[in-house]
Amino acid sequence: MNVEFINFKTPLIRAFLEAGRILGSPTVDYNAPEHLGFGYVQTTTRNGKRLSAAKAFLHPYKKRRNLHILPMATATKVLIDTTTNTAYGVQYVRNRLKNEVRARREIILSAGPMASPQLLMLSGIGPRDQLSRHGIPLIKDLPVGRTLYDHITFPGIIFSLNTTGVSFMESRSGTVSKFLKWMQFGDNEVASPGGVEGIGYIKTPLSTEVEDIPDIELISIGGSLVSDGGPKSSKATRRGMRLSDDIFNAAFGSIDNTDTWSAFPMLLHPKSVGSLELKNNNPFSHPLLYGNYLTHPIDAATFVAAVRHVQALAATPPFQKFGAKIHPAQYPECRKFNFDSDEYWECAVRTLSATLHHQIATCRMGPVGDPLAVVDPELRVHGINRLRVVDSSIIPQTVSAHTHAPAVMIGEKAADMIRSSWRYK
Ligand SMILES: Cc1cc2nc3c(=O)[nH]c(=O)nc-3n(C[C@H](O)[C@H](O)[C@H](O)COP(=O)(O)OP(=O)(O)OC[C@H]3O[C@@H](n4cnc5c(N)ncnc54)[C@H](O)[C@@H]3O)c2cc1C
């Protein structure tokens, strides 16, 4: 799995790092042990092209004779012998046909933070009341889906610039010739991960953490929500965040498709806790997710503290060189508050925040006796033999990072544990 820096940079990333240093955040490699500070974004790409876990770990070995990959197959149930509580196979559907595969040693469930808990519950492992509600015979009463953490972000702190041509704008860079150049060399703005250029880890005054653990990540964008505007542009970011046209146009219509800078704060350790439940006993239904975002008052207040920090960054000379000026977004819901009051920003946060899809903890890891644990520290499902969950659903607590790298780390660590547990058997 390759990790690299982006070759293409706007001048705004240098301003971000310099402004950080002025306010006391050193320029760091945030993947090193000390990661409070600001640094250039690092991506899992190779020559500017995205490298998925499948491309990195599976594609080179897909011809191995002891590896069988069944694409387009949907696992629908883990088969468990109820006399011994031992998992022995997986039921799946492929080409509309139901089938089964048996395991000589053990089953590794790795369907991610939504589908792994769903599959456990469909197989009889989960909260007793939920399973009985959906007519699923209970094999093991465990708090599957009881805990759900996620990272949300607020993309609404946008600064207009008085200098043209310094930021990413899809209307300028989304051309066929730039795309072809990226295909060949991977070194222009098309290689940018959605305009993200820098990452900063800060500890706001609201943090009660004694150690040097950040509570906010700042994602510095060489542009903003309005950078994918214009008549022929994708509007991918606003669509991905499911912003309605009404809210977008009221708040940002006047600066659409112009040069801007923004830093998205991401709440690293929310106190609000969500949950996941089965919708029904159909494996092809989606489970129900209850994010419960911003239900704990400290979470919204931490976002407001982050807004103030971003404003302070923008007020420093490196950003004032570009005439950075906060855009007074008008949200229909927030008109009753004075622009730039704490109440206004809290309202804006509640209106605009979106998930970054870092769901975790739905099959939480913890020792025997932990009332919230689903798997043990070797990722074996409590009370069930020969069944492990190996994906981001086992992460017990929020991490000060995005969740892809932790998911890969869990896979590598689990591979070692699985190998060592079968070595002498
Ligand atoms: C839009 C988006 C953007 C993201 N951006 C970033 C980012 O920039 N950086 C970062 O660090 N993280 C990012 N994340 C989060 C990161 O992708 C996840 O945390 C990570 O992929 C979790 O890994 P996982 O192995 O637990 O689950 P997944 O990656 O979800 O893997 C689960 C796999 O199981 C398969 N599956 C599910 N159900 C079944 C079934 N019933 N039968 C068979 N197969 C099944 C799925 O198709 C999938 O391939 C992003 C997530 C999303 C959705």
CATH of the domain at 261: 3.30.560.10
Q: What domain range is 36 assigned to?
A: 4-53+150-355
Q: Are residues 76 and 22 in the same domain?
A: no
Task: Write down which residue in 321, 337, 355 finishes a domain.
Answer: 355
DSSP 289-326: EE--TT-SHHHHHHHHHHHHHHHHHHTSHHHHTTT-EE
CA-to-CA distance for 398 and 105, rounded, in angstroms? 32
Bridge-based pairing state of the strands 354-355 and 216-221:
unpaired
Q: Is residue 60 part of a domain?
A: no
CA of 256 to the centre of ligand 1 (A): 31
CB of 355 sitting under 6 A from ligand 1: no
DSSP 8-51: ---HHHHHHHHHHHHTT--B--TTSS---EEEE-EESEETTEE-
Q: Is residue 223 part of a domain?
A: yes
Task: Check: CB of residue 352 under 8 Å from CB of residue 70.
Answer: no
CB of 395 sitting under 6 A from ligand 1: no
Q: Are residues 318 and 229 in the same domain?
A: yes
The per-residue pLDDT for range 117-157, each reduced to its tens digit, is: 999 999 999 999 999 999 999 999 999 999 999 999 999 99
Q: Are residues 387 and 339 in the same domain?
A: no
Calculate the CA 309 to chain-centre distance: 22
CB of 80 sitting under 6 A from ligand 1: no
Q: Are residues 29 and 174 in the same domain?
A: yes
Q: Are residues 15 and 164 in the same domain?
A: yes
CA nearest ligand 1 atom 33, residue: 111
CB of 196 sitting under 6 A from ligand 1: no
Q: What is the CATH number of the domain that holds 131?
A: 3.50.50.60
Q: Are residues 275 and 414 in the same domain?
A: no
Q: Are residues 205 and 93 in the same domain?
A: no
| HEC-encoded secondary structure of 76-139 | EEEEEECCCCEEEEEEEEECCEEEEEECCCCEEECCHHHHHHHHHHHCCEECHHHHHHCCCCCC
Task: Write down which residue in 329, 355, 381 finishes a domain.
Answer: 355
CB of 313 sitting under 6 A from ligand 1: no
The per-residue pLDDT for range 194-219, each reduced to its tens digit, is: 999 999 999 999 999 888 899 999 99
Q: Is residue 61 part of a domain?
A: no
Q: How would you write the pLDDT of the chain (425 residues) with one tens digit per residue?
A: 999 999 899 999 999 999 999 999 999 999 998 889 999 999 999 999 999 999 999 999 999 999 999 999 999 999 999 999 999 999 999 999 999 999 999 999 999 999 999 999 999 999 999 999 999 999 999 999 999 999 999 999 999 999 999 999 999 888 899 999 999 988 888 889 999 999 999 999 999 988 889 999 999 999 999 999 988 888 999 999 999 999 999 999 999 999 999 999 999 999 999 999 999 999 999 999 999 999 999 999 999 999 999 999 999 999 999 999 999 999 999 999 999 999 999 999 999 999 999 999 999 999 999 999 999 999 999 999 999 999 999 999 999 999 999 999 999 999 999 999 998 76
At 211 the pLDDT is: 87
CA of 112 to the centre of ligand 1 (A): 6
Q: Are residues 48 and 83 in the same domain?
A: no
Structure tokens at 104: 């000589």
At 232 the pLDDT is: 82
Candidate from 192, 276, 357 with most ligand 1 atoms within 8 A of CB, to mutate: 357
Ligand 1 atom, smallest distance to 360 CA: 19
Q: Are residues 131 and 184 in the same domain?
A: no
Candidate from 403, 410, 412, 413 with most ligand 1 atoms within 8 A of CB, to mutate: 403
CA of 149 to the centre of ligand 1 (A): 15
Q: Are residues 179 and 292 in the same domain?
A: yes
Backbone angles phi, psi at 220, to 5 degrees: -85, 125
Q: Three-state SS for 263?
A: strand
CA nearest ligand 1 atom 4, residue: 357
Q: Is residue 41 part of a domain?
A: yes
CA-to-CA distance for 402 and 158, rounded, in angstroms? 22
Q: Which of 358, 382, 402, 404 is catalytic?
A: 358
Structure tokens at 7: 């070759």
Calculate the CA 28 to chain-centre distance: 22
At 10 the pLDDT is: 96
The verdict on whether 309 is a catalytic residue reads: no
Cβ contacts of 233 within 8 Å, gap of 6 or more? 170, 171, 174, 257
CB of 406 sitting under 6 A from ligand 1: no
Q: Is residue 62 part of a domain?
A: no
Dihedral of CA 139/384/53/29: which sign? Answer: positive
Strand (E) or helix (H) holding 356: none
Strand (E) or helix (H) holding 276: strand 275-277
At 330 the pLDDT is: 95
Q: Is residue 59 part of a domain?
A: no
CA of 177 to the centre of ligand 1 (A): 32
Q: Are residues 212 and 331 in the same domain?
A: yes
Classify each residue of 124-134 as buried b or exposed e, where b means 16 or more C-beta atoms within 10 Å of its C-beta. bbbbeebbeee
At 34 the pLDDT is: 84
**What is the pTM for the complete model shown?**
0.95
CB of 197 sitting under 6 A from ligand 1: no
CB of 115 sitting under 6 A from ligand 1: yes
CB of 402 sitting under 6 A from ligand 1: yes
Q: Is residue 164 part of a domain?
A: yes
Residue whose token pair is 């008052």: 297
CA of 111 to the centre of ligand 1 (A): 8
CA nearest ligand 1 atom 2, residue: 357
Cβ contacts of 50 within 8 Å, gap of 6 or more? 43, 44
Mean pLDDT of the chain: 96
CB of 278 sitting under 6 A from ligand 1: no
Task: Write down which residue in 334, 355, 376 finishes a domain.
Answer: 355
Task: Domain count for the chain, please give it.
Answer: 2
Ligand 1 atom, smallest distance to 392 CA: 26
Q: Is residue 410 part of a domain?
A: yes
The per-residue pLDDT for range 18-60, each reduced to its tens digit, is: 999 999 999 999 999 888 999 999 999 999 999 999 999 999 9
Q: Are residues 25 and 169 in the same domain?
A: yes
